[in-house]
Structure 1
């Protein structure tokens, strides 16, 4: 039932191996892209279209990285990224998704500050299975937004940074009228739990100074109904992608780069784009020779990497309310939980339990069977008549050696411009990925846009050396008319 069992399927293996492509002319500029996630594939696509020799080295037996659409239930389920945050023409990914005709299911309007669902789409329950009145859910949600606005005043009054949890405590000291008790307090903890899910981190580690620095695009949030895999497969078509090639060493010289993979084989090119997850960079599993500059190492060390996982439960029939989110309210955000209802968007009887932060770390220590059982017991608390799942899937983004985390966030006391520092090239090494996106960290469109940016920086640098620089030649060619993905109305 684990998605990793697909390795034994030769048909899928064949479909994901893209290395049988015709080599470009030997004198063409060459680039090695390290990492076959969204950023790496976007960069490779752009450079391939600009007539570069491009080789993508990917450690897994599949492309996509933290985009992973699983089909073992007989229909697509995203175990990683699953939303397009900002369904609008300003979103770098919207034209790609729109041209593919992929539908999105809208789960929030423009007023969503942190959550990817509107307030009226929640059904919350206490630990005894009693449903919380909808007007109370909405009222506490509005109070939570008021509390967050008040934390901005705390930010202005204190020179030093602090965790968002400490700032909320100060707000309660200053504004006793915003304090909540009883059931209201438990609902507030649930909203805090959702905020922690947004950052994949606990409120005790999220920066007050930087938590709201991400640029939120208009258009609301759209769930990818058919999964993200069709998008990345389209971008990857025709590329030379070497699966099962885990990079261990990158040597940079003025005349080029030499990249070594785990089995000792080496690849050489004019330049390299490093598009591996922040967690992998933090682990020092890739050795850089010479060492990266201190400012680059500091950016890697000082950015936070959070964990959010998915436990996907497939049922025979639907027995839950027709809402987009089911939640359990409790005395602390750690004890709270929530389930995404995929039935509304896809018509399939699936609930997705989504633990984040410390809870996600604790669950990762369990077996898949124990994790699925844990999620099911949370569901039984609120719906005592819940039937047992017939199938389940469990992600392991924190423990997976290819990711070592889900996505980046701002830690207390660290500047927001660390994302930009991580993006800045070092000689003929270029960097891409969601953790290099100053505007859109932690998002697929952030990863995609940094892939294009790294490709353009790389193209300019390499062609400059070749004496072939033409500033009028765009990487991706002429842009087609912008089309925004189709939104499915709520059921």
Structure 2
């Protein structure tokens, strides 16, 4: 499928070839969506090449092993630790353990209030009774925003709706330390969307179909899933696609160094941020409805600063938090020692704060986080190692995951997923039900592969191959239960 397949500048489709051969597909992007698409097509006996711009697989899944233990600097949770999750069969088959950090319908989403400690800016522990009371108030505030949504035809931000609710319901207003705890709850909500509350759509924020089973942390990291799915696939790392030329019966892709690849179809799974930045040129241009979908979907940003210590000097709880007068100033540490036994804390920053973190050097970011930690524990020791993610400015991601912007159409995910000729689209932002999640990205890749397969088989009229492709679909034993713990 490289340029040697071009003869005198002419692309030969399968209609023109003397000898029948399997349809060829190029998958762009080596995240879990692209790997899932390539895996499905390889299993169906298609000729597949996967082009990845980075020097590694996984995309926004990035399990770092430099601490001597796995630390996910990108995606780290299975959102919906249940059999209905599309990734559950593979996780079961690989024997990968999960550590459940929340049950269903947790206001904190990734975490509930089963194992935590919060502190104020002066280092005093916040009474747990107050945290629970303010949490109940936050639930009531969110319920009241539904009335605001019903009363207004025009969309607005969640933050604006909360302001209206507090104006109309003075009894829900919080003061002093309780106000700071409320800001912390808003901070956690912002972390779920990787965006500030003034950017989150009131009409769409609660429309996501969240699977049951709560949220499970991947104890050994996500890389074993990437490794298993990518086995025996023809993968080309350091291949950044710059141009996609779409013909009626084929595509030609040009990478950064000028080389070209040709195939019958392509599956595009690059992050939405890359599409929004127009880093790939489409010839001819994509149709207006596709361009609008790319433009109108939001991309959030969430970063992690991971700190490894000699020993764990903090309480044996799942997370540590700092409450503050604004959600921007609130803080949150994931305690990996609780889930994995390793003396590692991971500080989480979302929205504008995540972009501000990226303006700092790695050392300055780690120093800032240590200032936050020392507000909680004055005798905190220096970390022996640290890691800093930069998803917002990374040219291969330009953001963490998609979200709904204020005033935009709710069908944008469906439009982003829709094919254009023999171009098919995957990635988490192309998941119509579970955008922003790993299993959503995985399912979108499988769906793109299936749509591509049907399109090419219909185009070539190769029913023999259709039967072969159907018979080669692999199934994974589902009788093994998920390994879920909570210590």
TM-score of the superposed pair, with normalisation by structure 1: 0.93
Question: Residue 424 of structure 1: CA displacement?
Answer: 0.2
Distance 2:170 2:478 in 1: 49
Aligned equivalents of 1:484, 1:201: Cα separation in 2: 37
1:57-456 matches, cutoff 5 A:
57-456=51-450
1:436-455: per-residue Cα shift (whole Å, max 9, x none)? 11210100000000000000
Count how many residue pairs are aligned between Structure 1 and Structure 2.
467
Q: Is the 8 A contact 1:47 1:475 kept in 2?
A: no
- d(CA) in 2 for partners of 1:26, 1:353: 55
Structure 2 Cα separation of the partners of residues 484 and 406 of structure 1 = 32
Secondary structure, counterpart of 1:397 in structure 2: coil
Cα shift readout 1:108-154 (whole Å, capped 9, x = no counterpart): 11132452111132210000100001111112112111111111111
1:486 correspondence with 2:482: yes
Question: What is the aligned-residue RMSD (CA, Å)?
Answer: 1.4
Q: Displacement, 1:490?
A: 2.2
Return the offset for 1:384. Answer: 1.0
Query: Matched residues in 2 for 1:417 and 1:199: separation?
Result: 18
Q: 1:483 to 1:345 in 2, by over 3 A?
A: farther
Contact 1:106-1:487 at 8 Å conserved across structures: no
What is the CA deviation profile of residues 433-472 of structure 1, one whole-angstrom value per residue up to 9, with x for unaligned ones?
A: 0001121010000000000000000000011111024489
Where 1:110 maps in the other structure, the secondary structure is coil
What is aligned with 2:461?
467
Query: Aligned-pair distance for 1:174?
Result: 1.8
Note the alpha carbon deviations across 1:379-430, whole angstroms, 9 max, x for none: 1111111111010000010010000000000000012210110000000000
* Change in CA separation of 1:44 and 1:341 when aligned onto 2, cut-off 3 Å: same
Contact (CA 8 Å) 2:118, 2:323: kept in 1 or not? yes
CA distance in 1, matches of 2:333, 2:480: 28
Distance 1:332 1:238 in 2: 50
Q: Is the 8 A contact 1:49 1:475 kept in 2?
A: no
Whether the 8 Å contact between 2:106 and 2:112 is mirrored in structure 1 is yes
Gaps of 5+ in 2: 1-18
Alpha-carbon distance in 1 for matches of 2:455, 2:342: 49
Change over 3 Å in CA distance of 1:267–1:73 after alignment to 2: same
Q: Secondary structure at the match of 2:328?
A: coil
Unpaired segments ≥5 residues, structure 1: 1-24
CA deviation vs aligned residue, 1:344-393 (integer Å, no higher than 9, x gap): 10000000001111111111011111111111111111111111101000
SS in 1 for 2:53: coil
- Distance, in Å, in 1 between the alignment partners of 2:375 and 2:334 is 16
Relative distance call for 1:182 and 1:472 in structure 2 (3 A) is farther
Task: State the SS of the aligned residue for 2:329.
Answer: coil
Aligned partners of 1:142, 1:474: CA distance in 2, in Å?
A: 51
1:142-181 Cα distance to aligned partner (Å, 9 max, x none): 2111111111111111000001000001111222111111
- For structure 1, which segment, 462-471 or 191-200, has the greater mean C-alpha deviation from structure 2 after superposition? 462-471
- Quote the offset at 1:321 in angstroms: 1.1
Q: How far is the alpha carbon of 1:89 from its aligned partner? A: 1.1
Q: Quick one: distance in 1 between partners of 2:20 and 2:71?
A: 41
Query: In structure 2, what is the Cα distance between the partners aligned to 1:167 and 1:471?
Result: 54
Q: Are the counterparts in 2 of residues 87 and 485 from structure 1 also a CA contact under 8 Å?
A: no
- CA pair 195-485 structure 1, distance change in 2 beyond 3 A: farther
Q: CA deviation at 1:482?
A: 2.2
C-alpha change, 1:442 and 1:465, in structure 2 (3 Å) is same
Question: 1:283-338 CA deviation, whole Å, 9 max, x = no partner?
Answer: 10100010000000000001000100000000111111111110000000000010
SS at match of 1:371: helix
Q: Distance in 2 between matches of 1:331 and 1:484?
A: 47
| Residue of structure 1 in register with 2:473 after alignment | 477
Identify if the C-alpha distance between structure 1 residues 66 and 412 changes in structure 2 by more than 3 Å, giving closer, same or farther. Answer: same
Distance 1:178 1:88 in 2: 35
1:473: how far off?
Answer: 5.2
